[in-house]
Structure 1
Amino acid sequence: MQIGDLIRRAGRQYGAAPALVDGDRVLSFAEFDEQTDRLGTALLASGLEPGDRVAVVLPNGIDGVVVYYALAKAGLVRVPLNTRETAHEHAYKIDDSQARALVFAGDPPARTEIMITAAELPAMIATAPPGPCDERRDQDAPLRLAYTGGTTGKPKAVVLTTRSELAEVANFLVDLLPNLHPGSVMLHAAPITHGSGAFFLPHLVKGAPNVIVATFSPAAFLDAALRHRATSTFMVPTMIAMLLEEPATAAAVAAGDLALERLCYGGAPIATTVLQRGIDVLGPVFAQLYGQAEAPLAITCLQPWEHTPERLTSAGKPYTFVEVQVRDTAGRVLGTDEVGEILTRGPHTMSRYWRRPEATAETIEPDGWLHTGDIGRWDAEGYLHLLDRRHDVIISGGFNVYPREVEDALLSHPAVAQAAVVGIPDEKWGERVAAAVVVRSPADAAEIVAFCEGRLAGFKRPRAVEIWPELPTSPVGKSLRREVRDRMAGIPMTAATTATP
């Protein structure tokens, strides 16, 4: 089966019903099928050949989705680029992927052999001959290249295939969204280039419309959610916090106007205080997704009914068709409460890193097990708990300190809105714990340090705290601890300080 087969079948089954909604613009299932056929044909007529990479830099909207799935039908390889990234970052990925074409809005970040502007897309679709565009690619051939966040080095391109895409859809339909039907509505408020885009196909195949918000704000989200009676959405934690701070959110819930059944979240750690407040305001609608670019959004999930107070720090249980292990450095499979690296295996995982055979060999074992680089443990009930990234673990005086645990303690302070914990070189201890925080109300750094006493063991407590106006984050909302570490490397380790980077 090909991705185009799913689109074609949805076009036949659901016809004139709305498939995509973007403000006042609506595409039916049949129109979406036809437009992706025509654009796929036009792309091949432009000189592209199946297997060529095509970089896409378009804002959230219908055009981007049509381009993505026209590429799928044409046998071309999608390289989606987040519009929040810089032109320099885009240029690196365009060069690294060896893209032959670029589809873009605004100023092009780089030159490729074939350049297509967003303004040209309507004419390409209108003038292309009708009929199916149906380039059949091998199930294990590249379908899209997804770049890693680059939080520990240069971003790497993850090769995802038709097989992995279909497996991801199956994971969603079996475990995460088993009750989808034509009356369901997916609201895309986060970039479709990343997590939110994974929800498009599961809704499409079940006849449910996908509504797109161009740019997230609590007001824009609520307006679209109420107007379209959205039942599903995906957010990163910062978006959830912003939504909860909007007074109209609680008012909409109290009035019974919000129809959300699933608010899926992931992409970055979430403070338990924010999560509990979300449950209090929005009800039992939260579903946590743990995954990474190499295993998109599908390693474990924590279902809404599993969001009990004692499990809010858990990442949930493995999806039905996904295997998960925790191993020590010698490769021994660990049991309950033993800390080690998380590995996963399943048909949805990447086939390799693009043009990086050594990194591929380090990450994927011959039998398919993928090293996530994350540190975690199982609890007695079979729930996985994430402790941190392997490369972010702080070793102080011979003890392992997991930054996420320290960040959770800092975030329990009523004034702390965001926190990033890093290890700073120390002659005596090897590394000492330091933190940069963003506050929502006036607070003293020394007070925040003192707050951690009794909440964390001595070797885990931050020896320095800086109050910053904002933390550096990636375009998908992940804290860039590497940048925090670089900025904080010169601060004194004997006292709390207040600083503006």
Structure 2
Amino acid sequence: MGSRQQIGDLIRRAGRTFGDAPALVEDGRTMSFAEFDVATDRVGNGLLARGLEPGDHVSVLVPNGIDGVVTYYALAKAGLVRVSLNARETDVELAYKIEDSRSRALITDGRVPGPTESVITTDELATMMTSGDASPCEVVRDQEAVFRLAYTGGTTGKPKAVILTTRSELAEVANFLVDLLPDVGPGSVMLHAAPITHGSGAFFLPHLVKGGCNVILKKFSAQAFVDAAVQHRATATFMVPTMISMMLEDADIDRSRLHLTRLCYGGAPIAPALLARGIEVLGPVFAQLYGQAEAPLAITCLQPTEHTPERLASAGKPYTLVEVDIRDSSGKSLPAGESGEVVTRGPHTMSGYWQRPDATAETLGADGWLRTGDIGQMDAQGYLYLLDRRHDVIISGGFNVYPREVEDVLLTHPAVREAAVVGIADAKWGQKVSAAVVLREPVDDDALMNHCASRLAGFKRPRHIEIWDELPKSPVGKSLRRSVRETMNAQKVAENA
């Protein structure tokens, strides 16, 4: 029989080992390792007492903070499947995920995007946390059972839920501790400046299990981040490139007062010039991680010592426990220097897409190799360079935007006949959501943007719309986004010349 270790076992052991040391800090509120262990027991027991059963799916819509982290790991102890929701999305988008995931309950700070069987408020959680049943909550489930669902998108325009198991989660922790955060221990401080529902949340367990403290900011601003890093003597953080750009432009930084040894970044392409500027200001602390929801944040990494001028455009080398290859369209492995699709394999990868067997078969091979949808090449030393994204995903401010979803909204406007949405290079956001539309009747840009504003989260809305007479088409009549993107980028270059 294989290992039956659970995530709750890690929390319980950390509680015993590190006891009264601070495990979580948020706005002056501190929770020790022992208190975190008890709080997750209380909430886990409280959720089961509400009628939820191990294996049930529970959507979580709570802000950055200690209560959110307690909720996540109470669900783990209770054997409940976490469905993390992004508060920046609209009610329509969130309601779809609640329904699609078949969530039996929604845990929320008050916002209820759509109908659900049970609503549990953060006020109720607070009561559970302080006065609930403190006996150990130790539901044991198979390591291959669903642990959490992470929504991503796809070419269909409807988000897909990635199935991640306990095996996935434990392997992700191992990947981080072996390669990305090898020096974590008591005295280490992880400053969470990005949403814990996003990449930053992956850094919580690696610090917890080794006795590090997790400090959570409710909201990011450049100067507040720098001030918090100094105050808490932060040793590590995670940022998307947009946050790095804002910090370098807007914050007063005194490098001598900082204790950062790892500024991990990912989630979007980064300009080598921005990276070079960051190293100049903060020193050799940058570590890149390349991953995706289907292979949680662990495909390749570029260590601080590898951030040499000739490597700044690289995504790094594969993690020790992860395999990476470059394949052509027939699945044949390609030699160094040749471009093809990046594929990866490891114990941390997804087991499939929730209720999407066709998409699973297309992405995940029977031999465990996962097609990432990214185009790249390896050099002779094994460094990966990413060239493009096969499915035209736009990454703006660290968030994925799927063109079809935006196009579908534009096409609901009666004046729009056709639409093509692409990402245009942008110094601040990495990529700017841009659209080319063909009209049935005259309409101005503002009207179209207002139309999108009521139907899409802010990071998904087009920031630039052009009216075209016709869109470039493939022989079978599909809009060629690549041609649209190339034309818009060329226009931008010409304007800046």
Displacement of 1:85 in angstroms is 1.4
How far residue 436 of structure 1 moved from its aligned partner, in angstroms, is 4.2
Tell me by how many angstroms 1:476 deviates. 11
1:353 is matched with which residue?
353
1:450 aligns with none
Partner of residue 257, structure 2: 257
What is the letter of the counterpart of residue 9 of structure 2? Answer: D
Aligned to 2:308: 308
1:130 Cα offset (Å): 1.8
Q: What is the aligned partner in structure 2 of residue 380 from structure 1?
A: 380
Sort the Cα spacing of 1:489 and 1:191 in 2 relative to 1 into closer, same or farther, 3 A. farther
Give the C-alpha shift of residue 125 in structure 1: 2.4
| Counterpart check, 1:317 vs 2:317 | yes
Retained in 2: the 8 A contact 1:363–1:371? yes
Is 2:101 the partner of 1:97? yes
CA–CA distance in 1 between the matches of 2:144 and 2:370? 17
Are positions 1:70 and 2:74 aligned together? Answer: yes
From the superposition, tell whether residues 271 and 129 of structure 1 become closer, same or farther in structure 2 (CA, over 3 Å): same
The verdict on how the C-alpha distance between 1:92 and 1:58 changes in structure 2, with shifts beyond 3 A counting, is same
**1:239 alignment partner in structure 2:** 243
Larger mean CA deviation between 18-27 and 149-158 belongs to 149-158
The verdict on how the C-alpha distance between 1:437 and 1:199 changes in structure 2, with shifts beyond 3 A counting, is closer
SS for the counterpart of 1:109 is coil
Structure 1 residues 26 and 334 mapped into 2: Cα distance closer, same or farther (>3 Å)?
A: same
2:157 and 2:241 mapped to 1: Cα distance? 23
Is it true that 1:4 corresponds to 2:8 in the alignment?
yes
Question: Following TM superposition, by how much is the alpha carbon of 1:392 offset from its aligned partner in structure 2, in angstroms?
Answer: 2.9
Report deviation, 1:385.
0.5
Distance 1:487 1:291, change over 3 A: farther
Does 2:163 align with 1:163? Answer: no
Unmatched runs of 5 consecutive residues or more in structure 2 = 404-419, 429-444, 472-486
Q: Cα distance 1:484–1:160, how it changes in 2: closer, same or farther (>3 A)?
A: same
Aligned-partner SS, 2:371: strand
Alpha-carbon distance in 1 for matches of 2:422, 2:39: 53
The answer to whether the Cα contact below 8 Å between 1:229 and 1:259 also exists between their aligned partners in 2 is: yes
- When residues 491 and 182 of structure 1 are mapped into structure 2, their CA distance, relative to the original with a 3 A threshold, is farther
* 2:197 corresponds to 1:196: no
1:154, distance to aligned residue in structure 2 (A): 1.4
CA gap of 1:315–1:37, structure 2 versus 1, over 3 A, is same
Partner amino acid, structure 2, of 1:6? L
Aligned residue type for 2:313: T
Which amino acid is 2:289 matched to?
L
Aligned 8 A contact 1:436 1:484 in 2:
no
Q: Is the CA contact 2:19–2:34 (under 8 Å) kept in the aligned structure 1?
A: yes
The 2-side partners of 1:234 and 1:435 are apart by 23
Instruction: Give unmatched runs, 5+ long, in structure 1.
Output: 394-402, 408-419, 423-431, 441-465
Cα distance, 1:155 vs structure 2: 1.0
Paired residues of 1:40 and 1:133 also in contact (CA < 8 A):
yes
Contact 2:42/2:129 (<8 A) preserved: yes
1:127 is displaced (CA, Å) by 3.1
Q: Relative to 1, partners in 2 of residues 1:18 and 1:489: Cα closer, same or farther, differing over 3 Å?
A: farther
2:81 maps to a residue whose letter is V
- Find the residue that maps to 1:21 and give its secondary structure: strand
CA distance in 2, matches of 1:248, 1:488: 42
For residues 80 and 433 of structure 1, the distance between their equivalents in structure 2, rounded to whole angstroms, comes to 27
Give the Cα–Cα distance (whole angstroms) in 2 for the partners of residues 175 and 41 of structure 1: 35
Q: Distance in 1 between matches of 2:470 and 2:232?
A: 50
Equivalent of 1:145, from 140, 143, 149?
149
Whether 2:146 is the aligned partner of 1:119: answer: no
Residue 60 of structure 1 pairs with residue 64 of structure 2: yes
Amino acid at match of 1:366: A
Whole-Å separation in 2 of the counterparts to 1:437 and 1:81: 27
Change (3 A) 1:207 1:151: farther
- The one-letter amino acid of 2:211's match is G
| Partner Cα distance (2:422, 2:127) in 1 | 55
SS of the aligned residue for 1:27 comes to: strand
Asked if the contact 2:226/2:251 (under 8 Å) is kept, the reply is: no
TM-score by length of 1: 0.80
Which SS does the other structure have where 1:268 is aligned?
coil
Over 3 Å counting, the alpha-carbon distance change for 1:486 and 1:162 in structure 2 is farther
SS at match of 1:157: strand
1:84 alignment partner, SS class: coil
Equivalent residue number for residue 42 of structure 1:
46
- Contact (CA 8 Å) 1:194, 1:476: kept in 2 or not? no
Secondary structure at the aligned position of 1:392 is classed as coil
Q: CA deviation at 1:83?
A: 1.3
Distance (Å, rounded) in 1 between the aligned partners of 2:421 and 2:222: 35
Quickly say closer, same or farther: Cα 1:489–1:436, change in 2 above 3 A: farther
User: What secondary structure, in the 3-state scheme, does the structure 1 residue paired with 2:343 have?
Assistant: strand
| 1:374 maps to amino acid | D
Tell me: CA distance 1:107–1:374, structure 2 relative to 1, closer, same or farther (3 Å).
same
Percentage identity across aligned positions?
Answer: 65
**Could you tell me which residue of structure 2 aligns to residue 216 of structure 1?**
220
| Distance in structure 1 (CA, Å) of the matches to 2:43 and 2:153 | 30
Q: Deviations over 1:197-241 (max 9, x none)?
A: 000000000100000000000122112111100000000010000
Per-residue deviation at 1:261? 0.5
**What is the aligned-residue RMSD (CA, Å)?**
3.0
Q: Residues 4 and 73 of structure 1 are in contact (CA less than 8 Å); yes or no, is this contact kept in structure 2?
A: yes
Deviation at 1:87, TM superposition (A): 1.4
Counterpart contact for 2:222–2:251, Cα < 8 Å: no
In structure 2, what is the equivalent of residue 27 of structure 1? 31
Query: Which amino acid in the other structure matches residue 5 of structure 1?
Result: D
SS of 1:103's equivalent in the other structure is: strand
Q: Match of 2:406?
A: none
> How many Å separate the matches in 2 of 1:496 and 1:315?
28
CA distance in 2, matches of 1:225, 1:151: 39
Partners of 1:212 and 1:280 in 2: CA distance:
27
Name whichever of 215-224 and 158-167 sits farther off: 215-224
Structure 1 counterpart SS, 2:391: helix
Give SS of 2:333's match: coil
Q: How far off is 1:496 after superposition?
A: 3.9
